[in-house]
Structure 1
C-alpha cells in the first residue's frame, strides 16, 4: 500500500495540470458522439432481443393484416355532429390529417361502409354499399346506420353519437420488416458459428442499417405527431379534441423523459449547488463536486453515444443515480479533508490532500464494489432495459470512482481551500444527537426496528405489479385526458389479442419445415381425438363425406358457434371495452340478411359473398384460413379500477380451457398488453423474489471486506430495513410496482450499502485508538456521520424537485430516492451502531496498544 500511495503521489498529486489536460482530451473524445445519445421507448426496448412475445406480436399483425401503428383523434363537437355542417367540419379535419406526408390512410365514420339500405341483402351487398363520403346519405340515416352496425359503436362512434374518432394510420415501411428478418437470420448464423468473421461483419452492417432506419422512423413519427397536433389545435374552436394511440404514448413518454433529463436535470444541479453552498459555504466545495458529477455523467453519456447504446424508460434514471453516487464520494472526501484541516490547521494543503486520499480510498473502493454488486443483480433480469440499466450503473460507478480519485485531488491541488473558521471550532454537530439517542435509547431502537421490520414485511406482501399507462401521467396532461375519453366513449385504450388455433392443414398438404420451425405458433395437432368439438359430421351438412373438406374451413356452424361463445365471454368482462371478432362480422351479415342468423350453407359462402374491398375490414383481421387461426381483438379499459392484467389473462385462459374445452396450446395471448405484462411479471420474479440472493451476495462482500461473519450480518441489517421500508411503504400506500419503481429495491440497497460501509470502516479505524465502543461511536457520529448526513440532505433536497414532473414514475423516483436516503441514514446512525455496541464485533473493549 505504501508503494501505491507513493506512486499515486508522484503521478497524480505532483502533476495535477497534466492529469487535467489528459482528462480534458478524454472528455473531448467522448464529446464527439454525444449527439448519438438517444432514448428508446419502442416495443423492442421492453423485451429481450429474441423475446417470443415480440415475435408473436409481429407475426399476428402480419397474418391478420393489423397494426397498432395508428393515432386516434377523438372529436366531440360543440354543435350536433350529424348535420351537414357538422359532418363537413369533420371532413375538413379528416382531409387535413390525411394530407400529412407520413399518413398512409384514415378511417372514420365518413369513409366506412354503412351497410344500411332497403335493397341490401347478401346477394346485393356488393352493389348497395354506401358511405357518407361517396353517397348522399342523410345525416340522421347515417347516424342510425352507424349505431345499428355492431362494428362501429364504441369504436368509431360513441353510443350517444356525440363523440367520434378518426384513425390516422402510420404504415411501417416494408424495408423495416425486411431488415428485421435479415437481422434475425444473420444473428442465428452468427450464434451458430461465432468464428465466422464474414457473418459477424454482415450482422454488424445490417444492425447499423436497422438502427439508422429506426432512428429515421422515430424522427418521422415525432414530426408527424407534432404536425397532427398543430392541425388539431386549429380545429379546437369547433370541438373538444384529444389525441391518443400507441405511437403517441411512446412519443410523449420519450418527450417527458427528455424534458425531465434537461429541465429537471438542471433543476437538480441547482438544488445541489444551493445545498452544498449552505452546508460548506465555500465556493470550492461547490465547484469541485459539481465538476466531478458533471464529468462522470459526461463520460458515461458520451460512451453510450459512441457505443450506440440507447437509453430506455427504465435506464433513463442512471443520470440521476450517477449524480448521487459521485456526489456521495466527493462529499465524503470533502468532510475527511476538513477533518484533517481541523486536526492540523497549519499542515500544508498537499499533505492534507494526500492523507485524505489515503484514508478514503479503501472505504470508497469497498462502497463502489458493493454497490456494483447490488446493481449487478439487475443484469440477471429477463428484461432488456433492466439489464442495460444494470450494466450502465456498473460502468457509471467505476467511472465515478476514477473521477473522484483523479479529478477531485487534481482540482484541489490547483485550488487549495483555506481553513474554514467553522472547522476550527469544536461545536457539536447535530449527528451527535443520534449518538446520544443510540446510547440512551438502545432497547427502544431495537424494538422499533423489529416493529418496523414487521410492518415492512406486511407492506411488501401487499405489493402488486399492476399499473395502467394512464397512471403514468398527471390528470392535467393531454395524454391522460385523451385516454379517459377513449376509455369512456370509444371502447378502451390498450390492445390485447386472443388467438384461437383450430385444425392443422389436411394430411398430405405441402408444408415448409423451415417455416414451421420459425413459426412461434407451431404446435401439435390442436384437435386430437379427445377434442369435445370434433365430430364425424357437421349436423347441418347431410353428406358426411363432403363434410371432411367442409371441416377444413372455419366457416362452419359448429366452429362459429364456439367462437361466438368466446366473444360473448370476452365482452362480458368488466375490464374489456370493445371486442371485435368474426362474430361481429356475422352479426353484421345477419342484419344484412334481414335480421336472420346465417345458416350453415350461407356460412360456407361468406368468404365468397363478402366483396374484396370489405374483406380487409370484415374477414382478414379475424380469420386466417392459411394458419387455421381466429383472432379476437380486445381493447382494455385503462381507467378500470378492476384491471389486473395477469389475473385477467389467467381468468380468460381458465375459462377457455375449462369451460369451453380448448386445450392450453390452442389459446395464445399477444399484443402490447401481453408484452407489458410479461415485462412486469419478469421484473417481479427477477428482482423482488431474488432480492434475498442480492443480500446474500452483499453479505458475502461484507464478509470478504471485513473478514467477520458477525460484522457482515450486522452490516446487512440496516440495508434490509432500508430496502424493506421503501417497498413496504409502496405496499401500504397501494403504489404498484412498474417498469420504473420496481428498480427502487436495487437503488435502495445501493444507497444503504454506502452509508454502512463508510460507518463500519471508520468505526474500525477509530476503535483502535482506545478500544472504547461508546467513545468510538460518538467520534464516528461526529466525523463520518456528518459526511453521511451531508450526503443525504444534499440528495434529498436535490431530488425533491422531481415532484414537479408531469411523468408520475419520475415523481415516484424522486420521492422514493429521498425516502431511501433518509431510511439509509437513520439506519446507519441508529440501528447499525446499536448492533455494534450490542455484539461488539471488533473484539473485547480494553486499552489500545
Structure 2
C-alpha cells in the first residue's frame, strides 16, 4: 500500500493548487444539480408504494372519500355559534370554500341536509339558508334541530354548540408540486379576511393539507436556522480545541464543499427529497468533522515537534489514512443499513449520509491537505492538552479495577431499563406547539372529535347485503361496544341514518328509531332519501356505489400506534365472536398505516443493525489482524447505544419510527472513536511497549482528537433539540447521548479491558504497518 499512497500524498502536497482546482471542478459538476432539488410535503412519502396497509387505505379512498382535507374551525368567544352572526359566518365560509383549489365536497352545519316526513314522503333541505335574514325564532328552531341531530354533534359541531366545522374534501393532483401548500395559503387568506370581519369568533384552519404545509414549513425552518447554528457551534468548538483559525477555516471550506457536493449529487440522481432530508445537513456537518480533526490534530502535533509544514502533513496522512478510511467505511455501512427501513425517507437519509461520508473521506485526504499547504501556517496550543491526556491516562491505569467495576455496573443499570421503551408512534406529536395547527389539534381533540380515526369498510356475509337487519343490528351493537372503549370520542356508521329514516317513514314516531325490519324496506328508504337530496349531495362517502359495503368510522383521541393496533385487535376479536353477519375487515386510515409501519420499522432496522454490526466486526478483525482485539472492540461499539436506549427508557419510555434509526445511524460513528484509539494502542504495543505504555501513547496521540470530535458531533446533534419538528429534536438528543456514552466507554471502560485482557507481548508486524508504513 505504501508504494501507492506515499507517491499520491506527495503529489497532493507538491501541487496543492492543482489539487484544489480538480476538487473545485468536481464540486461544480455536482453542485449544479442543486436547483433540481425539491421537497415533498405529503405524509404518504413515509410509506412504500408496495405497503399493504397503504394499498388498503388507497382502496378505501377509492370506495368512499379522499382523505385529503382542509377545514375551517369556528369557535364562539362568548356563547355559542347559534346566533345570526355565527350562522352567517359559517354559511359564508361554506360558500367561500368553493374557491379553494381542488375542493369537490364541502360540508358544514349550515349545508347539513335535514330531513322531515309528510304523508310517507321524505323532504330534505339544508339546515340553514340565508342566515343573515333569519329571525330570532328561526334561529332558535335551527338551534333546537341541530342539538337533536346526533349525526351533527361531534361531526360538524361540539355538544355545547361553541365550536363548528366547515369540512372540505379535496382531490389533490399527484403531478403538481406542493398542492397542500397552495391550498393552505388560500385557506389562510380566507381565514384572515373573515377574522377581521368577525372578531367575536376565533377562526382557525386545519385538515391534512395544513399538516402537510406545516411539515414543509418546519423543514424550511430547520434548514434556515439549525444548519447555521450547527455551523457556529461546531466551528466554535473546533477553534477552541485546535486553537488555530487557519485549521478551522480549512475545515469550514471542506465541510461546506462536502455538503454542496452531496446535495448537488442527489439533485441529479434523486431530486425529490423527503422531509427527513432536512435532518441530513446537521448529521453530515457533525460527521464530516471527525476525519479532518484527526488529520489536523496529528498535523499540529508534528508541527510542535519542529517538523516543516509538508513533512508534518505527510506524516499525518500516513498515520491517519487507514483509521480514517476504516471509520468512514464503518460509518457508511451503518447508514446504509437504514435501507432495511420500511419507510422510504429513512432509506433516503441513510443513502444521502453514506454518500456524504464518502465525499468527506475523499476531500479529507485531498482537498484538506492541499488547503493547509496554501493557507498560512497556523500554530495550535497543543502541549497543555497533551499533558492533560497524559495525566488522565495515569489515573485510568492506577484505578483500572475501580473504573471497570463502576462502568460495568453503570452499563448493567442502564441496559436494565431498555424494556421500558414502549414501541409507539403518534403523528400528532411530530411538531411542537409553536405551530397553530398543533394548538388547534390539541384544542379540538376529544372536544369536537378525535385526532385518530379507525376506518372500516364492512361487507355482509349474507346474500341480502348491507341492508340485512341482522347485519345492521350487529353493526349497531359493534358501535355500542366501541363507544365503551377508552379514548373513543365518537362512532359513525350507516345505522344512524337508517334509524332516522325508519322513524321519518313512520310519521317521525320515536318508537321506530331502529333499523328497518327488512332489507327491502331499508333499501327503499335509502333510495327515497337519495332522490330527495339537494343537487351535488350523495351518500358515496358512506356506502359504495354498488351498495356492497358500508363505511364505519371510529374517532379516537390522542393515542400511540401501539394503542391503535391493540384497539383494532380487540375489535376484530369482538366481531369474530359477536357479529357473524359482518365480514371481518381490518382497520385502515393514515394513523393505522403509520402504526403498522412503526412496528415493522423497528424489526427491520434491528435486522439491519445486526447485519451492519457483523460486517463492521469482520472488518475490524481483519484490519486489526486480531480476533482478540476485534472481540474487545465489540464492547465499546455495542454498549453506547444500549446505554442510550436504557437512559431513554428511564426518562421518556418510548421509541417511535424516528428514534428507531438511532442505533443504525450511530453504529458507524461510535466505531470511529474505537478504531482510532485501538489503532494508536496497537501501534504502540507492536512497537514493543507494555500495555500501560501503549495506553499512555494512545491517550497522548488521539485523546484530544476524540474529545474534540465527540464535542463537535454531540454539539451539532444537540442543536437539533430546538427544532420545531419533534422527530428531529429527539433524534438529535438521542444521537448526542449515544456519542457521549461512546466517548465515556472508550475512555473509562475500553482501557481497563485492554489492561486485563491484553497481556504479554505482541508481534512487531501489523496489518496497519504494512498498509500505511
Change over 3 Å in CA distance of 1:356–1:641 after alignment to 2? closer
Q: Measure, in 2, the Cα distance between the counterparts of 1:577 and 1:261.
A: 38
Q: For residues 569 and 235 of structure 2, what CA distance do their matches in structure 1 show?
A: 51
Q: 1:800 to 1:46 in 2, by over 3 A?
A: closer
SS at match of 1:667: coil
Task: Answer whether contact 1:574 1:642 (CA < 8 A) is retained.
Answer: no
2:444 corresponds in structure 1 to 486
| Aligned-partner SS, 1:491 | coil
Return the offset for 1:233.
Answer: 5.1
Task: Report what 1:248 is aligned to.
Answer: 210
For 1:87 and 1:354, locate their aligned partners in 2 and report how far apart those are by CA, in whole Å.
79
Q: 1:647 aligns with which of 562, 566, 584?
A: 566
Q: In the alignment, what sits opposite 1:620?
A: 540
- Aligned with 1:630 (options 550, 572, 586): 550
Q: Mapping of 1:363-512 within 5 angstroms?
A: 363-420=323-380, 422-423=381-382, 425=383, 428-432=386-390, 434-503=392-461
| Deviation for aligned residue 1:496 | 2.4
Match of 2:529 in 1: 610
Helix, strand or coil at the partner of 1:666: coil
1:179-210 CA-to-partner distances (Å, cap 9, x unmatched) read xxxxxxxxxxxxxxxxxxxxxxxxxxxxxxxx
The alpha carbon displacement at 1:319 in A equals: 1.7
What is the CA-CA distance between 1:824 and the residue it aligns to? 0.8
C-alpha contact 1:97 1:231 (8 A) present in aligned 2: no
Q: How big is the shift at 1:232?
A: 6.0
1:570 aligns with 2:482: yes
Q: d(CA) in 1 for partners of 2:104 and 2:550?
A: 26
The 3 A distance-change label for structure 1 pair 250 and 847 is: closer
Cα deviation digits, residues 471-530 of structure 1 (max 9, x gap)? 233234312211112213211123321222334xxxxxxxxxxxxxxxxxxxxxxxxxxx
Once residues 52 and 641 of structure 1 are traced to their aligned partners in structure 2, the CA distance between those partners, rounded to angstroms, is 20
Q: Distance in 1 between matches of 2:82 and 2:639?
A: 62
2:129 to 120, 129, 133: 133
1-side partners of 2:760 and 2:257: how far apart? 39
User: Following the alignment from structure 1 to structure 2, what is the Cα–Cα distance between the partners of residues 827 and 216?
Assistant: 46
Q: Secondary structure at the match of 2:467?
A: coil
- CA contact 1:150–1:587 (8 Å) conserved in 2: no
Q: Partners in 2 of 1:305 and 1:13 — Cα distance?
A: 32
Name the counterpart of 1:699: 617
Alignment of 1:608-757 (within 5 A): 608-612=527-531, 614=533, 619-624=539-544, 626=546, 628-638=548-558, 644-661=563-580, 666-688=584-606, 691-757=609-675
Greater shift after overlay, 148-157 or 31-40? Answer: 31-40
The CA RMSD over aligned residues, in Å, is: 2.8
Partner of 1:192: none
Question: 2:711 matched to 1:800?
Answer: no
SS at match of 2:66: coil
Counterparts of 1:847 and 1:401 in 2: how far apart (Å)? Answer: 27
Report deviation, 1:607.
3.0
In the alignment, structure 1 residue 362 sits paired with structure 2 residue 280 = no
1:758 and 1:74, CA in 2 relative to 1: closer, same or farther beyond 3 A? same
The answer to whether the 8 A contact 2:181-2:210 is kept is no
CA distance 1:337–1:817, change in 2 (3 Å): same
Q: TM-score, normalised by structure 2?
A: 0.91
**Which moves more between the two structures, 399-408 or 127-136?**
127-136
CA-to-partner distance for each residue in 1:693-728, whole Å, 9 max, x for gaps? 443332222222212221111111012110101111
* 1:304 alignment partner in structure 2: 266
Q: Structure 1 residue 558 and structure 2 residue 470: aligned?
A: yes
Whole-angstrom distance in 2 between the partners of 1:776 and 1:408: 29
Q: Structure 1 residues 427 and 580, CA, compared in 2 at 3 Å: closer, same or farther?
A: closer
Q: Which residue of 1 aligns with 2:74?
A: 75
Would you say 1:325 and 2:287 are equivalent positions?
yes
Segments of 5+ residues of structure 1 without an aligned counterpart are 177-212, 504-533, 535-550
Q: Please state whether the residue corresponding to 2:377 is helix, strand or coil.
A: coil
Q: Partner residue of 1:584?
A: 496
Deviations 1:355-392 (A, max 9, x none): 11121110011101112222222112222222222222
TM-score by length of 1: 0.83
1:52 maps to 2:10: no
Cα distance, 1:149 vs structure 2? 1.4
CA deviations over 1:719-774 (Å, ceiling 9, x no partner): 21101011112222234222322111112212211101111111111223342111
Distance in 2 between the 1:588 and 1:122 partners?
16
**Contact kept in structure 2, 1:571 and 1:577, CA below 8 Å:** yes
Supply the distance in 1 between the matched residues of 2:255 and 2:124 (Cα, whole angstroms). Answer: 71
In 2, Cα distance between equivalents of 1:403 and 1:122: 86
Report the Cα distance in structure 1 between the residues aligned to 2:208 and 2:671, rounded to whole angstroms.
40
Give the aligned length. 754
Relative distance call for 1:412 and 1:103 in structure 2 (3 A) is same
Segment of structure 1 superposing worse, 319-328 or 731-740: 731-740
Residues 225/325 of structure 1: CA separation in 2 closer, same or farther (3 Å cut) = farther
